[in-house]
Structure 1
């Protein structure tokens, strides 16, 4: 199969609509942050936290903020101010430029990233999966092995660490798997897939479950692209004191019933 090519203006229109929806959601999150005054201004002991919008980590639930990572942040007991982001690359750039103290995003602790950033202890475990539509007869996925993706195209969010992971897989199996990066959140990427605009997407399993399990049972996300991976938070290499403080709080939280309830609520 040839690499994915643009098919029509209809495809472009869908992407524009989804991008507008994402921007609107982000604007709502930023408005809430400024209006609430919950976390104060950055500086001093207040952490400037770049937090990626996702249906698991951070989102609007009615007129309140929610999400696994957001709730964990509140449990730390450390003053913080949130800066919503839509991609890991956006957060890491801000971290490099000194605008953020910590980034919480889809950032598996790879060797490459560990050379550039200081990671906390894992907040929880997740893994990346291939999302595809099942056939209409046996409700089975067409692709059951990465070998079957040779010559095909998978879509990810722009700046996703999965781009590098898929490139490594291509080298390991001796065949090219093409990657198309779309400037949308993981949630919007999956919604694009549900209307038939793309065939294969790679996202975190918890995001796939959150979006698809109840409303789109015809989509399969059982094929893993990576093993279960730690999902830590990233800081600058020089911020060892901040990392130590966050690690101490996270370790204490993970030993509580409250942490177990959070996992049950958001990860089912």
Structure 2
């Protein structure tokens, strides 16, 4: 009887291993290989990741627009490459995709900092911007939550996109004002969604890129974006550390294209 019980246990264990093995092979994970520019040219496809917002990449009915998307399309066309663009709201997932070779390029404005330089190779700066506080305008006759300057941020909860480079600045700001600022990282929404949440009263404060905020402020007349969180910084695209030739190719092309009338018209279209 004891021997039969052992057989049953052994058989059950083997069956469990078979089930686990079958499940693990039911949905094979795609394999990606880190690529530099020569590999991209051989494949004929450039894989880029961006953020879905009005400034970078935006779909409206049958058309796609956005400064980063249109600039990237011009590069791909000049190099006879097919373009594959993936919108990804999470900054951390964009970095992870780059590290794994899933994407060849982060084609959305990414702030250049000492920390971000540890993980990415940056193109020439594409524009200047800064992080700002998004809050509701004060209402007459009501107790106001309005923040007039950075010193009043003590004890407040700020919502920011998870993994955003703005977090480094916010941690420094906590030290500067010698008070606690509660940081709520959000991974399912981007800056435009955070603006809508502040406007609707779901949250009180958010930290967003100034250019994105300015591009959407007309939709939310009850919002104020006049309080700076950071100083003005350079923003650029990010290439993987293993793709220096891609970086050189992008920079060489940008040097020429940014002198053209096409580029000047594109810049005016998105940066007033």
What TM-score does the superposition give when structure 2 sets the normalisation length? 0.77
What RMSD over aligned residues (CA atoms) do the two structures have, in Å? 2.1
Partner of 2:115: 112
Q: CA deviation at 1:45?
A: 4.7
Partner of 2:221: 217
Q: Say which of 195, 201, 210 aligns to 1:196.
A: 201
The 5 A counterparts of 1:26-41 are none
Q: Say which of 78, 82, 101 aligns to 2:104.
A: 101
Post-superposition Cα deviations, 1:116-175, rounded to whole Å, max 9, x if no partner, equal 21111112222111111111249x982122111011111112221212221111112211
Partner of 1:245: 249
- Say which one has the larger Rg: 2
2:258 is the alignment partner of 1:259: no
- Counterpart CA distance in 2 for 1:59 and 1:53 is 6
On the 8 A contact 2:91/2:164 being kept in 1, the answer is yes
- Counterpart CA distance in 1 for 2:230 and 2:121 is 22
2:55 is the alignment partner of 1:62: no
- Counterpart CA distance in 2 for 1:106 and 1:249 is 17
2:225 is the alignment partner of 1:226: no
On the 8 A contact 2:56/2:109 being kept in 1, the answer is no
Q: Which runs of 5+ in 1 are unaligned?
A: 1-40
Partner of 1:185: 190
The 5 A counterparts of 1:53-92 are 53-76=52-75, 77-78=78-79, 79=81, 80-92=83-95
Q: Which runs of 5+ in 2 are unaligned?
A: 1-39
- Counterpart CA distance in 1 for 2:41 and 2:95 is 17
Partner of 2:212: 207
On the 8 A contact 2:199/2:222 being kept in 1, the answer is no
- Counterpart CA distance in 1 for 2:234 and 2:135 is 24
Post-superposition Cα deviations, 1:89-124, rounded to whole Å, max 9, x if no partner, equal 111000111111111235211101102211111122
2:154 is the alignment partner of 1:155: no
Q: Secondary structure at the match of 2:110?
A: coil
- Counterpart CA distance in 1 for 2:145 and 2:125 is 31
- Counterpart CA distance in 2 for 1:254 and 1:86 is 27
Q: Secondary structure at the match of 1:232?
A: strand
Cα distance change, pair 67–141 in 1 and its aligned pair in 2 (3 A): farther
On the 8 A contact 2:72/2:107 being kept in 1, the answer is no
The number of aligned residues is 226
Q: Say which of 122, 127, 130 aligns to 1:127.
A: 130
Partner of 1:47: 46
- Counterpart CA distance in 2 for 1:162 and 1:57 is 18
Partner of 2:17: none
Partner of 1:169: 173
